[in-house]
Amino acid sequence: MKRREALKDIALGGLVLGLGRGAAARPRHGVAAQTPSPAKTAPDLSVISAESPAAAARAAVAALGGMAAFVGRGDKVIIKPNIGWDRTPEMAACTNPEVVAALVGLVLEAGAKEAVVMDNTTNQAKRCYVRSGIAEAAKQAGAKVLFTDDYRLKKTALQGAWLKEWDVFADFLEADKVINVPIAKVHSLTRLSMGMKNWLGAIGGARHQLHQKLDEAMVDLAAFFKPALTVLDAYRILVKNGPQGGRLSDTRLVKTIIAGRDQVAVDAFGATLFDVQPGELAYLRIAQERGLGRHELGGLTIEKRTV
């Protein structure tokens, strides 16, 4: 089943059956149904520390059963890093380019037809793409790196609890699989900006109005985009002056990559890096209530390693 068909079905299913978001959204990508189910030993989360961001990213995906568990042969895959700011990698405002490149490599090795990398940036798109190092690194790894294109915005039924419809870039609707590659940062409104916040870069329109109910908006968007895989870049995290920092002293080297199927769980683990209890984050609580995922780390199997 193509992703866009799945989306339609889910939207319809959710509407007709009045199912909870989680239940409705779970088979969205048909990940569990189509791709070989991960080995029984595959953990819920992999948390890998390494000197090399790329090595950590590869090991994190491998621990979850490898990219083949998420991406099928011939899939059109879209990889969504955070390229939001005109900042260089050491400022930890955008996803580490090596992590993005590593994922592009893994996706293509898994037999994907194409790997698209894009983000709706905040500063001038070209500056963000270039100075984050992501455009070059992703291109080198074989990705198709695209600027978002306003003509590709489609008014889309999100069927969220708050957001009923919004402008979404068609590239995300047409992809068979979506992989989220956020970076871990502090944020004044949601406290932390990680995977679920990253979806604001997949949409257009008056995004800043979402801040009036940002936690709800993030959950609605996350439920809609529900990625096959979330890889949280915590190689260098932003601990001050979020979400764009500006000085090296705003960042902290953690040298860790967190990956998982459950985007709520990934963000929950990310929160602990900032000494924040996941349950303190409103959006994680809402997400769990809606069955989007689990933020209580106690019940999860976590593979934690240093490579």
Partner 1 sequence: MKKERSKKYRRVRALRVLTQSFFFGLFGYLLLVSHYTGEDYLGKPVDAFFRFDPLIALTTLVAGRVVLTWMPIAAAVLVLTLVLGRFVCGWICPLGSLHQAFSFIFKKAGLLKPKREETASTGWKYLVLAVVLVGSAFALNLAGWLDPLSFLVRSFTTAVLPAAALGLSQVVRLLYAIPFPALAQPLSQFINNLAVNTVFFQAFAVGLLFLGALLLNIRKERFWCRYLCPAGALLGLAARWNVLKLRIDEDACIKCGLCTQHCQTQAEPYPNPKWRSSECVYCATCAAICPTAAIGFPASPKPEPVKTIDVRKRRVVLASLVGLAAAPLVRVAPAAKRAHVKLIRPPGALPEPEFLARCVKCGECMKACPTNGLQPTLFEAGLEGLWTPRLVPTIGYCEYYCSLCTQVCPTDAIRELTIEDKVQVKIGTSWINKNRCIPYALGKPCIVCEEHCPTSPKAIKLVLVQAALPDGTVSTQKAPVIDQDLCIGCGICENKCPVVDEPAIFVTSIGEQRSETNRLLLPVIGDGE
Instruction: Decide whether 59 or 116 has the Cβ nearer to partner 1.
Output: 116
| Nearest alpha carbon to residue 181 among 57, 27, 25 | 57
Secondary structure (DSSP) of 16-67 = HH---HHHHHGGGG-HHHHSPPPPTT--SEEEEE-SSHHHHHHHHHHHTT-G
Kindly state the smallest distance separating residue 246's Cβ from partner 1, in Å. 3
Single residue of 113, 187, 252, 255 touching partner 1 by CB under 8 A: 187
Tell me, by CB under 8 A, how many residues bind partner 1.
33
Please identify, using beta-carbon distances, which residue of 29 and 197 lies nearer to partner 1. Answer: 197
Taking CB under 8 A as the rule, does residue 123 contact partner 1? yes
Of the pair 49, 123, the CB lying nearest partner 1 is at: 123
Q: Is 147 in the site for partner 1 (CB under 8 A)?
A: yes
Q: Which stretch binds partner 1 (CB under 8 A): 29-37, 159-167, 186-194, 266-274?
A: 186-194
Amino acid in position 163 = L
**Closest to partner 1 by CB, 212 or 301:** 212
To the nearest whole angstrom, how small is the minimum distance from the Cβ of residue 235 to partner 1? 20
Task: By CB under 8 A, tell whether 126 contacts partner 1.
Answer: yes
* Side chain identity at residue 204, one-letter code: G
Are 169 and 148 in contact by the 8 Å Cβ rule? The answer is: yes
* 179 binds partner 1 per the rule CB under 8 A: no
Instruction: Quickly list H helices, the chain.
Output: 3-17, 21-25, 31-34, 53-63, 97-109, 125-131, 134-140, 170-174, 214-225, 263-272, 282-289
Q: Number of C-alpha atoms within 13 angstroms, CB side, residue 287? A: 34
User: Apex CA 53: angle with CA 51 and CA 58, to 5°?
Assistant: 110
CB 55, min distance to partner 1, A: 28
Minimum gap (Å) between residue 13 Cβ and partner 1: 28
Nearer to partner 1, 159 or 251 (CB): 251
Which of 62, 130, 161, 307: binder of partner 1 (CB under 8 A)?
Answer: 130
DSSP state of 240: S
* Cβ nearer to partner 1, comparing 124 with 272: 124
Q: Which residues in 231-270 contact partner 1 (CB under 8 A)?
A: 240-247, 250
154 binds partner 1 (CB under 8 A): no
> Binding string to partner 1 for residues 203 to 222, with x set by CB under 8 A, is what?
---x-xx-xxxx--------
Crossing angle for the helix pair 214-225 and 282-289, nearest 10 degrees?
50
Does 182 contact partner 1 by CB under 8 A? no
> Cα(172)–Cα(175) distance, rounded to whole angstroms?
5
- How far apart, in whole angstroms, are the C-alpha atoms of residue 140 and residue 103? 12
The Cα–Cα gap between 88 and 96 comes to 9
User: Do residues 227 and 174 lie in contact, with contact meaning Cβ atoms separated by under 8 Å?
Assistant: no
Strands 251-260 and 45-49, sheet pairing: antiparallel
Site for partner 1 in 93-122 (CB under 8 A): 122
> What part of residues 277-306 is at the interface with partner 1 (CB under 8 A)?
none
- Contact between 151 and partner 1 (CB under 8 A)? yes
Q: Which of residues 57-86 bind partner 1 (CB under 8 A)?
A: 86
Chain positions contacting partner 1, by CB under 8 A: 86, 122-127, 130-131, 146-147, 149, 151-152, 187-189, 206, 208-209, 211-214, 240-247, 250
